[in-house]
Structure 1
Amino acid sequence: MKVLSHYLKILLMIYVIIMLVNTMLKFKINISKEEYDAFINQHPFNNLLQSYRWGIVKNQSFTPYYLGLYKDEQLIATALLLTKKILRFFTMFYICKGPLFLNYEEESFAFFQKELKHFARKKQAILIKIAPAEILCTYKPNEEECKEHPYQFLDTLYKKHHYITNPLSKDLNATIEPRITMVTDLTKEPLLKGFHSSVKSSIKLCEKHCVEIMESDDLHIFYDLMVQTGKRDAFNIRPYSYFRHLKDSLQEQCKLFYARLNIPKEYHQLQTMLKQFKQRLSIINDSTHHECKDLNDQIIKTENLLEQILPYYEKNIDYLYLSSALMTYQGNISYYLYAASNNEVRGINASSYLVYQTMLDSQKNGYHYYDFGGVSGYQTKEEDPHHYGLYEFKRKFNTQYYCRFMEYNYSNPLFLAILKAMGKI
């Protein structure tokens, strides 16, 4: 009996040890793609910048690590960590729109931070920069950003673990990735109802003219339009190789859409329209008639369009590409990631029409939100003349502001001072 009792005690001790091990928190680096994707795909803040494939997109300038936190052998948090060399001998850690926790328990958050900082020391990282995914608030243009939000406790948690941050800013460039984006809810029907009248007019105009929407894998067309846009709007564009790598990395999560003008069809249609306008004007033969001004305006617009497309018609060019959109997809969100347009024919606003058609495509494929990307929080040209055009275009599609936290930075005081002086934080 004594021997049996001794063995029972040993078995009980083994069981207790196993139970303790199983309830321990575990931090793993580079978990499998399957496990990572399965976790973030069911997370309410699933987003492109925390997707597995985004790490592949960024691997030309960063080294990606896929972090996992486990409790009772169950995955409870993930993060796509991007690292890069700074100040020659050191490293920077960057988590954008993450980490993604199922529940913010203080014990698990503290353990994650402890292990992340341990990994940072191992990699000689002198800065950990985190931009949380949680949305502080949403509001419509012409409203003010709300002051209270349900994730205020996160600010307390990060500061408790010695992170510092800056006050909430409306500036577009206050953070690496914009903290304010504009988003259209695609679940509201019908889409057109909430659009600005100028967008509705542009859509009708494109439908009236011979503008066609197509999906294509031809990246050269997109890049040609991007070069034109960069020159026109005076901004630097990424090299072709970046967009090639982006599309190859995201695979089916990336689509290219184009709005193109059917030149022969449009040319003959404009000729017919011009003839009809002139015939109608000759019948009226009264300059005081209320139709005369409208007809003269239509004749001028039609002649201008004819003049713009005539060189293409004479060269037997079948299609002129007016606008393009590089769309990406993650979770229930479609992202209007890059857009470009033609300099030659500006009388037809094909960009608005293309946005509308890509929204319809997103709806059809089950996406709930259409993310236009970053804007500043300023709503007048006087407040932000450089970025007002972005806001003015995006606000017309029944968008809402989505506001997030500023970035949280962890470093020692000396490096913080150096990095601040260099404008890194």
Structure 2
Amino acid sequence: MSLTLRTITRAEHLAFVAARPSASHMQVPSWGDVKPDWTAESLGWFDAEGRLVGVGLVLLRPLPKVKRYLAYLPEGPVIDWRAPDLEQWLTPMLAHLKARGAFSVKMGPPVVARRWSPDAVKAAIADPGLRRLGDAEPTSHEPGAAELAGRLRAMGWRQSEPGGEDGFAAGQPRYVCQVPYAGRSLEDIHRGLNQQWRRNIKKAEKAGVKIVRGGYEDLPVFYGLYSETAERDRFIPRPLPYFQRMWTALTAEHPDRMRLYLAHHDGEVLAAATMLVVGGHVWYSYGASTSRRREAQPNNAMQWRMMCDAHELGAHVYDFRGITDTLEESNHLLGLLRFKVGAGGEAVEYLGEWDFPLNRLLHKALDLYMARR
């Protein structure tokens, strides 16, 4: 198959994504508006008949003082990753980005490699001989994932080394937790919650916790809780204007692209979370809560409301996003893994992010810079 690639309009890009079951929220045109430090461009692949057959949102980050760019396609591009002629898709993309001044290309194929059921994750956590989830026997291997990784290496792509703490990479998470919804009733999904989850949801209801949908005007309340969470969990928070920009950009593209949920109790907001929707894929994006009145269990109540709403929207998956791959009890992120898996989520490993150095010297310089950060 002969493919050509060119820049496309936002409308063309959005129409293509809308016609698919789902795509990453980082591969819709509005995501470029969330990242003002990057230049966003919509790419389109066309077949011999001129039909649009694939799209990608590429973010271009300039190097200081030089008109050269890092090109990044987070959780993309949206192409046929199982195609036998993958070179026909990726070669024109590299040529286009090189002509745009890119010195390196980073992408994240939205391809699953392995899955672990909730029971398999629970068993892995209980096994004293296991230190990482990746060392545990998976419930299933996705066919073709290992072959795809081999083909990318043969083309000159390099798998990014996982950075950050405990498997949380500097880019997008390789390990996530997802609750499968396809073909399941809400009763099935409720039965998939562990005992602790079901108990906590009842406690919240008995305590009088009320979950409400918020809007742009509620983002400062969310942000206050988010800042408290960042201090408690030892991470650097994003600034409030980031979330305001995110809300404005995403909801302008589609009114349900981003939602905000707030857990009220006795006149106070105890927890808040953002939810993102693209087609049948729903993500829990950012969560925040106070340490006060935790016995009211606002987080479980809020997540269950979000899970119910996702089901009502026709979701085929509810995605809790990143999880740690460490299984060590001493790690503070293990509690987050238990919380997400307790909702009936399976651990999912993606193929990870991949780099193609177009200028090896500049790519090496970027690697050194990132290692020192």
Indicate whether the TM-score tops 0.5.
yes
What displacement does 1:336 show? 0.6
1:207-228, CA deviations, whole angstroms, 9 ceiling, x for partnerless residues?
1111111112121211121122
Check 1:418–1:371 CA distance in 2 against 1; reply closer, same or farther (3 A cut).
same
1:173 to 168, 171, 185: 168
Q: Is the 8 A contact 1:228 1:341 kept in 2?
A: yes
The whole-number CA distance in structure 1 between the counterparts of 2:79 and 2:214 is 37
Q: Is the 8 A contact 1:186 1:370 kept in 2?
A: yes
What displacement does 1:88 show? 4.1
Unaligned stretches of 5+ in structure 2? Answer: 125-135
1:10 match: none
1:152-182, CA deviations, whole angstroms, 9 ceiling, x for partnerless residues?
3322332232111257899423351001110
1:133 match: 110
5 Å matches for 1:186-197? Answer: 186-187=181-182, 188-189=184-185, 190=187, 191-197=189-195
Find out whether 1:391 has 2:369 as its counterpart. Answer: no
What do you get for the CA RMSD once the two structures are aligned? 2.4
Check 1:152–1:421 CA distance in 2 against 1; reply closer, same or farther (3 A cut).
same
Q: Is the 8 A contact 2:27 2:75 kept in 1?
A: yes
1:36 match: 13
Deviates further, 74-83 or 145-154: 145-154
TM-score w.r.t. structure 2 length? Answer: 0.84
2:144 match: 150
Q: Is the 8 A contact 1:172 1:374 kept in 2?
A: no
The whole-number CA distance in structure 2 between the counterparts of 1:77 and 1:344 is 48
Deviates further, 194-203 or 226-235: 226-235
Check 1:120–1:35 CA distance in 2 against 1; reply closer, same or farther (3 A cut).
closer
The whole-number CA distance in structure 1 between the counterparts of 2:116 and 2:369 is 34
2:350 match: 404
What displacement does 1:355 show? 0.3
SS in 1 for 2:30: helix
Find out whether 1:227 has 2:227 as its counterpart. Answer: yes
Find out whether 1:258 has 2:262 as its counterpart. Answer: yes
The whole-number CA distance in structure 2 between the counterparts of 1:200 and 1:48 is 30
1:355 match: 303
Q: Is the 8 A contact 1:43 1:102 kept in 2?
A: no
Number of matched residues?
A: 342
Q: Is the 8 A contact 2:341 2:347 kept in 1?
A: no
TM-score w.r.t. structure 1 length? Answer: 0.74
Q: Which amino acid in 2 is paired with 1:356?
A: W
Check 1:230–1:167 CA distance in 2 against 1; reply closer, same or farther (3 A cut).
closer
5 Å matches for 1:323-338? Answer: 323-338=271-286
5 Å matches for 1:265-304? Answer: none
The whole-number CA distance in structure 2 between the counterparts of 1:193 and 1:180 is 24
What displacement does 1:366 show? 1.3
Q: Is the 8 A contact 1:225 1:342 kept in 2?
A: yes
1:96 to 39, 62, 74: 74
SS in 2 for 1:422: helix
Deviates further, 124-133 or 136-145: 136-145
2:240 match: 240
Deviates further, 98-107 or 171-180: 98-107
The whole-number CA distance in structure 2 between the counterparts of 1:123 and 1:424 is 26
The whole-number CA distance in structure 2 between the counterparts of 1:230 and 1:130 is 28
Find out whether 1:162 has 2:156 as its counterpart. Answer: yes
1:268-318, CA deviations, whole angstroms, 9 ceiling, x for partnerless residues?
xxxxxxxxxxxxxxxxxxxxxxxxxxxxxxxxxxxxxxxxxxxxxxxxxxx
Check 1:136–1:177 CA distance in 2 against 1; reply closer, same or farther (3 A cut).
same
5 Å matches for 1:10-21? Answer: none
Q: Is the 8 A contact 2:40 2:58 kept in 1?
A: yes
When you count helix as a share of all residues, which structure comes out higher? 1
The whole-number CA distance in structure 1 between the counterparts of 2:244 and 2:142 is 42
1:421 match: 368
Check 1:177–1:393 CA distance in 2 against 1; reply closer, same or farther (3 A cut).
same
Q: Is the 8 A contact 1:45 1:100 kept in 2?
A: no
Identity %: 23
The whole-number CA distance in structure 1 between the counterparts of 2:228 and 2:161 is 37
The whole-number CA distance in structure 2 between the counterparts of 1:398 and 1:103 is 28
Q: Is the 8 A contact 1:47 1:330 kept in 2?
A: yes
SS in 1 for 2:287: strand
What displacement does 1:24 show? 5.3
What displacement does 1:421 show? 2.6
The whole-number CA distance in structure 1 between the counterparts of 2:43 and 2:59 is 11
Q: Is the 8 A contact 2:22 2:280 kept in 1?
A: no
The whole-number CA distance in structure 1 between the counterparts of 2:235 and 2:316 is 31
Check 1:167–1:57 CA distance in 2 against 1; reply closer, same or farther (3 A cut).
closer
Check 1:100–1:418 CA distance in 2 against 1; reply closer, same or farther (3 A cut).
same
SS in 2 for 1:101: coil
What displacement does 1:28 show? 1.0
SS in 1 for 2:104: strand
